[in-house]
Amino acid sequence: VCAVGCAALFLSIRLQKHITGPLLKLKNITEDIAHEANYDRILPLPVKDEIGELYHSFGEMIHQIRLRENARDIAEAALKDSEDKLLITLNSIGDAVISTDCKGRVIRMNPIAEQLTGWQIDEAIGQELTKVFPIVDTTTGEVIKSPVEKVMSTGKIIYLSNHTTLVARDGSEYQIADSAAP
């Protein structure tokens, strides 16, 4: 009975040392990563068995995650720089410029467009172009449809007639020459 008890104790210690212990360490590392995005935990040196292979695969996964995060950070910085340059260019244009998404909702406008329409950019974002930039035919008074649909369907620049009036938010009217481009 003593020999069986000693063998069981010995087996339990070996199990703890070679399987359970390393798996618990790996579990703790995964929790650190999940909760703190801490990829800098050093994995213990694995042994050359299935647990070691698991550690190796896990280490490779962490390495790939780090590489992807670095690439994402670089891409985000480049995108921010590009957006900053776009904003500088947009804001330096002396004509009113309004950008929309494919459905005709405002996504950007420059300060000249804000002055002309009476809409601040933070209020205009997400609004339909026809609401922020309502235009009418000066000769007939008829509302001119948003040019976005035509531009999106043809993929070409369109020019509206020289008889176009913008009705600003406060009711002011401005004769404009208008065009739209994809």
Pairing of strands 135-137, 173-176: unpaired
The whole-number pLDDT of residue 9 equals 60
The whole-number pLDDT of residue 16 equals 62
The whole-number pLDDT of residue 2 equals 65
The whole-number pLDDT of residue 179 equals 87
The whole-number pLDDT of residue 12 equals 67
Please count the CA atoms within 13 angstroms of the CA of 141 that sit on its side-chain side: 0
| Mean pLDDT in order along the chain per 10 residues (182 residues) | 62 67 80 76 69 82 89 97 95 94 95 97 96 93 88 88 89 91 88
Rounded Cα distance, 60 and 101, in Å: 40
Rounded Cα distance, 23 and 29, in Å: 10
The whole-number pLDDT of residue 160 equals 77
135 — alpha (psi -120 to 50), left (phi > 0) or beta?
Answer: beta
Instruction: Give me the helix-helix angle, 50-92 and 21-36, nearest 10°.
Output: 10
The whole-number pLDDT of residue 45 equals 64
The pTM is what? 0.64
The whole-number pLDDT of residue 47 equals 67
